Amino acid sequence: MKQKKIPLRKCLITGEMKPKKELIRVVRSKEGEVSIDPTGKKNGRGAYLTLDAQIIEQAKKKNILSSQLNAEVSESIYEQLINLANQKNGHS
């Protein structure tokens, strides 16, 4: 039986290729709205980050999402990402 191919994506910060399920996608719509895309299926320009609070903090410091998505990324997006990372890693 042929093994199913696991879709890999690259984390913007670490540069590591990881299975799509281990990363979180942040997407910019045609209208320029930036949102978190937990399903990975929204239309628009996507950028992937490892779901880890430290990595998200690094992305925030470097403002890497804004430059990758060519859009303003609000503070609330980073807060939501950190909350998701903390939930995933068992912190609340």
Average pLDDT for residues 72-88, to the nearest whole number?
A: 93
Does residue 1 belong to any structural domain of this protein?
no
- Which residues make Cβ contacts (< 8 Å) with residue 58, sequence separation at least 6? 13, 64
Supply the range of the domain harboring residue 36: 8-88
Instruction: Please report, for the domain that includes residue 29, its CATH number.
Output: 3.30.1230.10
Reported confidence tier of residue 6, pLDDT bands at 50, 70, 90: confident
43 CB neighbour count, 10 Å cutoff: 9
Does residue 2 belong to any structural domain of this protein?
no
Predicted TM-score (pTM) of the model is 0.87
pLDDT for 88: 81
Residue with tokens 């299975």: 19
pLDDT for 26: 97
Q: What is the pLDDT of residues 35-73, one digit of tens each?
A: 999 999 999 999 999 999 999 999 999 999 999 999 999
pLDDT for 30: 93
* Structural domain count of the chain: 1
For 58, phi and psi rounded to 5 degrees?
-60, -45
Does residue 3 belong to any structural domain of this protein?
no
